[in-house]
Amino acid sequence: MRTLVYLLLTLAAATPALAGRTASVVDGELIVGLKAGAVTTAAIGAVADVATRTHLLRVDPGEETAAMARLARDPAVAFVERNRLLPPAEMPNDPVVSYHVTTVHLPEAWDLAHGDPTITIAILDSGVDATHPDLAAQLLPGWNFWDNNGDTHDVFGHGTEVAGVASATTDNETGVAGAAWGCTLLPVRVTNSDGYASLFAILQAVTWAVDSGARVINLSFEGIHSSTALASAFAYARGHGCLVVAAGGNSGVYDATADQPNVLSIAATDAADDHPAWASFGPYIDLAAPGVAIRTTARGGGTATVSGTSFASPLVAGIAALLLSAAPDLTPAELEAVLESTAADLGAAGRDATFGAGRVDAAAALAAALPPPDTTPPQLALTAPAAGATVRGAVSVTGSATDEGAIARVQLLIDGHLHATADTPPYTFLWQTTGTTNGDHTLSLWAVDSAGNSTATAPLRVTVDNPVAPEITALSADHRLPKQRLTLTGRAFDTTTTVTIGNKAAPLVARTATTLTVKVPRLPKYTDQPVVAATGPAQSAAVALAIH
């Protein structure tokens, strides 16, 4: 025997269309990013934002593609892309959006999750119109438990309306906005052509949907909460990680039936968060959701304005699927607890028979389901050189950075100014000190993780002591014979300064702070040879000496 009453009240309601939300490019503007260590490039000039090494380059409109191609060949350029204008927080651009989208704070929830295609919502109903442009991309192959075949086309229209509330394709500039528009739909027909379903068809369909991978099941029929026959199927679903959401009913009277622990029963609210007169209530009600004048998908294409707990239920089912998309390890009990604990309390304070725990709030529930935000900065250390070290020449500056998430980048600052950036470990930087004045300088590292938390090491002081080039101001004679002595007068001579004449070492005889006396090496006679003083790699300018 097939019994179960179909829920649907239709009320006309006009809903204003919303403006388009697509991103648009800015003509004549390119964003250019430079590689670590590069601070300028001839193609774009000075970097506009030092922290990110990016530059806004303006070109003639129509020349963007050619300019991007030229920049892509520049070895200093890490990336180049068109500048874009991005839309605000996710309000879909579908022409028809009911009040319920904003009432339950779906746009804010969509900033966190759109729905994951691996999360499936099973719609146990009259079938779903697979040709509807707002549903076709969401649908998986389903099953028809009324005729026992794979034909799940909608024979009455109710299933298509329910499916659209849960997961109509959204942000596609057509149709309506579904709650979990990134999730998939599993159409399961359980009704005859008049929209009536049998308990047994539902029982079969519940277990089949669970075994087919559904994480949420929606049932928009009268009497779900009071059926003993369905209790085992609901327990099966709960035991296998699937949440069953059901309509609370449209009788408009108090129903004393006890709560069905494995079903989330949903009452309806209107645009003012009030209880419509036709909505059932009783101790079995767990949550409430908008169910008056809901705009949704219609069989045959287009949209329909519908009312009833039939449409409050799939709204909650879609929000539950959003939560599972963000936190797939949630159990049905945890999912129900999050939805109830974050609901907006309506009516009498606390839980009541009219609204249950309150009207569902998608954004609050999703925020509660997500892991707490990462607010811990990275662990960062500058490991070399050591504090107080004296350095010269090419110096390797190394650091270590760890984080509970991921390190986005580490930067080396010298005297408080950005020197180079590393995006991946090891965090080692080359500092060529020959371009730095001798004396004290500070080194520090700055790091940021993928959550945006940043930290910096305390400035570490080191001393740069690169050799100073000697200077020869005079020779004691402008000509000499081999083995004769020659005295160089000049500046910056120290105990390590050496002398070459004609590229041959000149043995040192005596030295003072301003003179060096050397013996002239054996060289070809009657030639002019260069005299050079050197301290390490630093050399003086050559002075000519005639060899006689």
3-state secondary structure of 507: coil
3-state secondary structure 188-225: EECECCCCCECHHHHHHHHHHHHHCCCCEEEECECCHH
pLDDT for the residue numbered 87: 27
Indicate if the pLDDT at residue 23 is higher than 70.
Answer: no
DSSP structure string for 158-185: HHHHHHHHHH---SSSSS---TTTTSEE
Who has greater pLDDT, 82 or 18?
Answer: 82
Output the six-digit token pair for 365.
């529930």
pLDDT for the residue numbered 493: 92
Which of 74-83, 320-329, 455-464 is least confident? 74-83
Active site residue 194: no
Q: How far is CA 382 from CA 197, 385, 401, 424, 439, in A?
A: 70, 8, 9, 16, 20
Give the whole-angstrom CA distance, residue 439 versus residue 436: 9
Are 115 and 181 in contact, with CB atoms under 8 Å apart? yes
In the chain, the domains with their CATH numbers are 24-85 (3.30.70.80), 103-368 (3.40.50.200), 379-464 (2.60.40.10), 471-547 (2.60.40.10)
pLDDT for the residue numbered 88: 26
pLDDT tens for 261-312 read 999 999 999 999 999 999 999 999 999 999 999 999 999 999 998 999 999 9
pLDDT for the residue numbered 55: 74
Active site residue 114: no
* Nearest CA among 17, 19, 2, 13 for reference residue 311: 13
pLDDT for the residue numbered 524: 92
Describe the crossing of helices 309-326 and 332-341 by its angle, rounded to 10 degrees: 110
Indicate if the pLDDT at residue 168 is higher than 50.
Answer: yes
Give the whole-angstrom CA distance, residue 446 versus residue 197: 64
Indicate if the pLDDT at residue 546 is higher than 70.
Answer: yes
- Model confidence at 17, pLDDT cuts 50, 70, 90, reads very low
The overall average pLDDT reported for the chain is 86
Are 4 and 124 in contact, with CB atoms under 8 Å apart? no
DSSP structure string for 96-155: ---THHHHTTHHHHHTT----TTSEEEEEES---TT-TTTGGGBPP-EETTTTBS----S
Active site residue 274: no
Residues in the chain: 548
pLDDT for the residue numbered 3: 30
Are 98 and 295 in contact, with CB atoms under 8 Å apart? yes
Give the whole-angstrom CA distance, residue 131 versus residue 187: 13
Main-chain phi, psi angles of 233, to 5 degrees: -65, -40
pLDDT for the residue numbered 222: 85
Describe the crossing of helices 362-369 and 309-326 by its angle, rounded to 10 degrees: 30
pLDDT tens for 394-417 read 999 999 999 988 999 999 999 999
Are 465 and 391 in contact, with CB atoms under 8 Å apart? yes
pLDDT for the residue numbered 24: 46
- Model confidence at 93, pLDDT cuts 50, 70, 90, reads very low
Q: What are the counts of helices (DSSP H) followed by strands (DSSP E) for the chain?
A: 9, 33
pLDDT for the residue numbered 229: 72
Who has greater pLDDT, 62 or 18?
Answer: 62
Q: Characterize the bridge pairing of strands 454-456 and 515-519.
A: unpaired
pLDDT exceeding 70 applies to what percent of the chain?
88
Cis peptide before 385 (omega within 30 of 0): yes
Which one of the listed residues 100, 158, 275, 441 is annotated catalytic? 158
Question: Which residues of 492-526 form beta strands (DSSP E)?
Answer: 498-501, 504-505, 508-511, 515-519
User: Mean pLDDT over residues 53-69, rounded?
Assistant: 84
Give the whole-angstrom CA distance, residue 341 versus residue 217: 21
Which one of the listed residues 167, 198, 265, 310 is annotated catalytic? 310
Are 263 and 257 in contact, with CB atoms under 8 Å apart? no
pLDDT for the residue numbered 173: 59
Which one of the listed residues 94, 116, 125, 449 is annotated catalytic? 125
pLDDT tens for 209-218 read 999 999 999 9
User: Mean pLDDT over residues 509-531, rounded?
Assistant: 93
Indicate if the pLDDT at residue 56 is higher than 80.
Answer: no
- Model confidence at 38, pLDDT cuts 50, 70, 90, reads low
Indicate if the pLDDT at residue 418 is higher than 70.
Answer: yes
Who has greater pLDDT, 203 or 242?
Answer: 242
Q: Any bridge partners for residue 454, and if so which?
A: 448
Top mean-pLDDT range of 10-24, 319-333, 474-488: 319-333
- Model confidence at 4, pLDDT cuts 50, 70, 90, reads very low
